[in-house]
Amino acid sequence: MIAASRAVFRGLGLRIELRGEEHLPTTGGAVLASNHLSFLDFTFLGLVGVERGRLVRFLCKEYVFGPSVVGWAMRRMGHLSVDRGPRRPRTSTDGCGVPEGPPEGLIRGLRCPGELWLNSAARPGLWSFHGPRLGLMTTATLVLVLVVVVALAFDFTNGFHDTGNAMATSIATGALRPKVAVGLSAVLNLVGAFLSVEVALTVTNAVINIQDSKGAPKADLMADGGYALLVIILAGLVGGIVWNVLTWLLGLPSSSSHALFGGLIGSAIAALGLSGVKWTGDGTKLDGVIGKVILPAFASPIIAGVVAAVGTWLIFRVVGHIAKEFADQGFRWGQIGSASLVSLAHGTNDAQKTMGVITLALIAAGQWTDTTAVPLWVKFTCAVAIAAGTYVGGWRVIRTLGKGLIEISPPQGMAAEGASAAVILSSSHLGFALSTTQVATGSILGSGVGKPGATVRWGIAGRMVIAWLITLPAAGLVGAVMWYLGHVLGGALGPIVVVLILIALTGYMWMRSRRQPITAANVNDEWEAMPETKRLERV
Amino acid sequence: MNNLALAADGAWKVLVASLVLGAGLPFVFALGVRARASAAGARADGEHAERRPVGNVLFVLCLLVVLFGVALGITIVVASGFGKAVSFEHIYPTIVSK
């Protein structure tokens, strides 16, 4: 065992220096205590014993001695097990007379024939855990950590998928250099995210039934540290991310919110059946999948398109016979202003969805109780995640929006972003939530329709509409499959496997994207230079 | 079916408000750009037209209208972030609790 440990240390490239080993007597009893902050560190102290020609007995929590190979080996090597139940310390090894008393007494009064390691002496709080509960707590905590990390990853994809909504037109017309545009948008998203003081903790209530109207999780999902609810959320988030990354790979702007909702709907159906989904509201306001997702999805591109078309038409009527340079210069500024407004609104609207989801997970796991506020670190990490995503820039989506649909001019850009900003702000003001992505796409199409003599590539627009139609079922399917997987494997293993699959899928899609990278450098290349069929093949 | 009626109602309101702000303000902005061009005597055919300084005044007026609209937009975003809403019941916007 000692030789094996040394081989491992050597394999890891560790160089270990011993100091003060002379303080360990070569005979008689002695206690060695160490800090324990990582998986490996306690093993180093064993080398001190070896140096002095002695073997060390480790004092370990009881569950290490369970019915496994490790447990058998631990017993054979004569290590000592400790029940960390409250105020009931005892060792299971014969020959160790340990008096009753708190853990401190255990150390002081130890009269073992050999030496002893005191493991995890650094954290007195651990002593209050019960053995059996300890395992459960770790599983629930692990799943909670996975949910938080995956939620932040979703927030990141939300940012980079939607950069184009605000900045595609400014980048395409050259009003802003690509890197400057995404930087500006990132800062405004960050500011917008911090502005969301009042966060809707009831974000999932729009489409599924896992919370009550105040935002607290349903009681029957709260057993085992909220495990059932955490797995539903985790699977839903994975569905949202996979769909976001896939549509990014294909360069299709699709709604991040719909991807999230789709994923959650899928995992909720898998976990709770069809009754887990809120299909419509109670009739007093727009609610449920139909009211909050499907109907707005049809309405938003049409409304935005009409507004942008009217705006574009009016602008060209007014400026038709003035010098082009004059018009372009003026409209560049108008475009930057209106695009900034869209970015700000995006930060406030979208970052708070992730904040709501993470806080729901924390409440379910018993780590947070206030249903009217969000922990500060949640707000901070969500704001940073969405801004970082925005700054990375989903160049593939930006290219489609800025160059693919129409050849955009500064007046059209101004009309499109003005329409987007107006539609997003007035719809959230009037409680009729619209998808930013669909609004932005509708606006750009509208600005193509409204300009006399402009051509619109309807084929690309058609592909987008198909993507919008299948967003909900596709993300839902992934969410459902992930939930089944997590559920069948169960425990800590299920969620871990789900996350590993997420990493594998997104990693694969990222690798695919490298075959034909789109970056800040080539985002504005001529669209027609690359024939449609070739583009599809290469993707 | 109720959802459909509610959606139609919401969509209608959003369309009107957005047309006023989202098409109206860019239109005013375009008027401003045109006024400025006329003040400088710039024309699409490259010819120099007569300079009309009054255009600069119109340009500033248009810009003020647009800036007011943008400020209103930012106020709506910020107010909703703080749990407030912007009310138009007195015609001029006021900030009220939601």
Contact B37 A326 (CB under 8 A): yes
The answer to the question of residue A289 being in a domain is no
- The alpha-carbon gap from A404 to the nearest alpha carbon of chain B, in Å, equals 23
Residue with tokens 């070739």: A534
Among B14, B34, B38, the strongest candidate for a mutation testing the A interface, having the largest count of A CBs within 10 A, is: B14
The answer to the question of residue B33 being in a domain is yes
The answer to the question of residue B60 being in a domain is yes
**Residues, chain B:** 98
CA A186 – CA A407 distance, rounded (Å)? 25
Choose the final residue of a domain: A100, A128, A156.
A128
CA B13 – CA A283 distance, rounded (Å)? 19
pLDDT of residue A533: 47
Q: Tell me the one-letter amino acid at A269.
A: I
With contact defined as beta carbons under 8 Å apart, do A57 and A35 qualify? no
Q: What is the DSSP letter of B75?
A: H
- Cα dihedral A33/A37/A40/A41 (nearest 10): -40
CB-CB neighbors (< 8 A) of B11 in chain A? 299, 303, 432
Question: pLDDT at residue A119 above 60?
Answer: no
User: Do A146 and A80 reside in the same domain of the chain?
Assistant: no
CA distances from A432 to A211, A299, A339, A388 (A): 22, 10, 21, 28
Choose the final residue of a domain: A128, A153, A187.
A128
Tens-place pLDDT, residues A317-368: 888 777 777 778 888 888 888 899 899 888 888 888 899 899 999 988 888 8
Q: Which residues of A461-487 are buried (b: 16+ CB within 10 A; e: fewer)?
A: bebbeebbeebbebbbbbbbbbbebbb
Which residues sit opposite A60 in a β-bridge? A81
User: Do A52 and A137 reside in the same domain of the chain?
Assistant: no
Mean pLDDT along residues A516-528: 84
Choose the final residue of a domain: A82, A103, A128.
A128
Among A189, A286, A338, A429, the strongest candidate for a mutation testing the B interface, having the largest count of B CBs within 10 A, is: A429
User: Do A101 and A181 reside in the same domain of the chain?
Assistant: no
CB-CB neighbors (< 8 A) of B73 in chain A? 341, 345, 421-422, 425
The answer to the question of residue B86 being in a domain is no
User: Do A260 and A167 reside in the same domain of the chain?
Assistant: yes
The answer to the question of residue A243 being in a domain is yes
φ/ψ (deg, to 5) at A67? -75, 65
CA A506 – CA B10 distance, rounded (Å)? 37
- Residue A241 pLDDT level (bands cut at 50, 70, 90): very high
Q: Tell me the one-letter amino acid at B83.
A: G
pTM of the model: 0.74
With contact defined as beta carbons under 8 Å apart, do A460 and A250 qualify? no
**Which range of residues forms the domain containing residue B43?**
2-69
- The alpha-carbon gap from B10 to the nearest alpha carbon of chain A, in Å, equals 6
The answer to the question of residue A311 being in a domain is no
Across the interface, of A415, A425, A434, the residue whose CB is closest to B76 is A425
Name the nearest CA neighbour of A393 among A217, A174, A171: A171
Name the nearest CA neighbour of A147 among A509, A507, A394, A494: A494
Q: In what order do the strands lie in the sheet with A30-33?
A: A30-33, A115-118, A58-61, A80-82
CA A517 – CA A135 distance, rounded (Å)? 45
Name the nearest CA neighbour of A365 among A527, A224, A472: A224
CA A179 – CA A169 distance, rounded (Å)? 14
Among B33, B52, B68, the strongest candidate for a mutation testing the A interface, having the largest count of A CBs within 10 A, is: B33
User: Do A145 and A197 reside in the same domain of the chain?
Assistant: yes
Question: pLDDT at residue B6 above 90?
Answer: no
pLDDT of residue A118: 39
CB-CB neighbors (< 8 A) of B80 in chain A? 198, 348, 428-429
- The alpha-carbon gap from B57 to the nearest alpha carbon of chain A, in Å, equals 16
Question: pLDDT at residue A129 above 50?
Answer: no
Domain count, chain A: 2
Kindly state the tokens that stand for B17: 């408000």
CA B39 – CA A412 distance, rounded (Å)? 23
Which residues sit opposite B87 in a β-bridge? B94
Q: Tell me the one-letter amino acid at B17.
A: A
pLDDT of residue A124: 39
- The alpha-carbon gap from A342 to the nearest alpha carbon of chain B, in Å, equals 10
User: Do A53 and A174 reside in the same domain of the chain?
Assistant: no
CA distances from A111 to A96, A107, B42, B63 (A): 6, 9, 99, 87
The answer to the question of residue B45 being in a domain is yes
Across the interface, of B3, B23, B43, the residue whose CB is closest to A307 is B23
User: Do A52 and A184 reside in the same domain of the chain?
Assistant: no
Domain count, chain B: 1
Question: pLDDT at residue A135 above 80?
Answer: no
Among A191, A298, A338, the strongest candidate for a mutation testing the B interface, having the largest count of B CBs within 10 A, is: A338
CA A2 – CA A64 distance, rounded (Å)? 19
Contact B76 A286 (CB under 8 A): no
- Residue A95 pLDDT level (bands cut at 50, 70, 90): very low
- Residue A106 pLDDT level (bands cut at 50, 70, 90): very low
CB-CB neighbors (< 8 A) of A425 in chain B? 21, 73, 76-77
Alpha carbons within 13 A on the beta-carbon side of B63: 15
Kindly state the tokens that stand for A304: 């935005």
The answer to the question of residue A45 being in a domain is yes
User: Do A146 and A66 reside in the same domain of the chain?
Assistant: no
User: Do A393 and A512 reside in the same domain of the chain?
Assistant: yes
The answer to the question of residue B91 being in a domain is no
In degrees, rounded to 5, the angle at the alpha carbon of residue A253 between the alpha carbons of residues A252 and A255 is: 130
A419 or A519: which carries more pLDDT confidence?
A419
pLDDT of residue B75: 84
User: Do A150 and A111 reside in the same domain of the chain?
Assistant: no
> Cα–chain-centroid distance for residue B72?
9
Is the ipTM here above 0.90? no
Contact A326 B36 (CB under 8 A): yes
Across the interface, of A192, A286, A306, the residue whose CB is closest to B10 is A286
pLDDT of residue A179: 93
CA A508 – CA A115 distance, rounded (Å)? 51
With contact defined as beta carbons under 8 Å apart, do A165 and A396 qualify? no
The answer to the question of residue B17 being in a domain is yes
Q: How many residue pairs from chains A and B have C-beta atoms closer than 8 A?
A: 183
With contact defined as beta carbons under 8 Å apart, do A51 and A18 qualify? yes
Residue with tokens 């909900």: A472
CB-CB neighbors (< 8 A) of B46 in chain A? 323
pLDDT of residue A396: 92
CA distances from A27 to A49, A50, A197 (A): 11, 13, 65
With contact defined as beta carbons under 8 Å apart, do B81 and A348 qualify? yes
Question: What proportion of chain A, given as a percentage, has pLDDT over 90?
Answer: 35
- The alpha-carbon gap from B5 to the nearest alpha carbon of chain A, in Å, equals 9
Element (H, E) at B89: strand B84-90
The answer to the question of residue B78 being in a domain is no
CA B39 – CA A182 distance, rounded (Å)? 35
**Which range of residues forms the domain containing residue A31?**
2-128
The answer to the question of residue B74 being in a domain is no
Across the interface, of B20, B83, B86, the residue whose CB is closest to A197 is B83
- Residue B42 pLDDT level (bands cut at 50, 70, 90): low
User: Do A180 and A49 reside in the same domain of the chain?
Assistant: no
Residue B15's CB is within 10 A of a number of other CB atoms, namely: 20
- The alpha-carbon gap from B45 to the nearest alpha carbon of chain A, in Å, equals 7
Tens-place pLDDT, residues B22-37: 899 999 999 988 888 8
CB-CB neighbors (< 8 A) of B29 in chain A? 315, 330-331, 334, 414, 418
CB-CB neighbors (< 8 A) of A195 in chain B? 77-78, 81-82
pLDDT of residue A453: 80
**Residues, chain A:** 539
Q: Is A99 exposed, middle or buried (0-12, 13-18, 19+ CB in 10 A)?
A: exposed
Among A191, A194, A324, A426, the strongest candidate for a mutation testing the B interface, having the largest count of B CBs within 10 A, is: A426
Mean model confidence pLDDT for chain A: 81
Q: What is the DSSP letter of A218?
A: P
CA B15 – CA B56 distance, rounded (Å)? 32
User: Do A141 and A180 reside in the same domain of the chain?
Assistant: yes
Dihedral sign for Cα atoms in the order A128, A135, A222, A242: positive
- The alpha-carbon gap from B92 to the nearest alpha carbon of chain A, in Å, equals 16
Contact B3 A299 (CB under 8 A): no
- Residue A93 pLDDT level (bands cut at 50, 70, 90): very low
Residue B52 gets the label, from left (phi > 0), alpha (psi -120 to 50) or beta, of: beta
- The alpha-carbon gap from A13 to the nearest alpha carbon of chain B, in Å, equals 52
Across the interface, of A291, A315, A322, the residue whose CB is closest to B27 is A315
CA A58 – CA A116 distance, rounded (Å)? 6
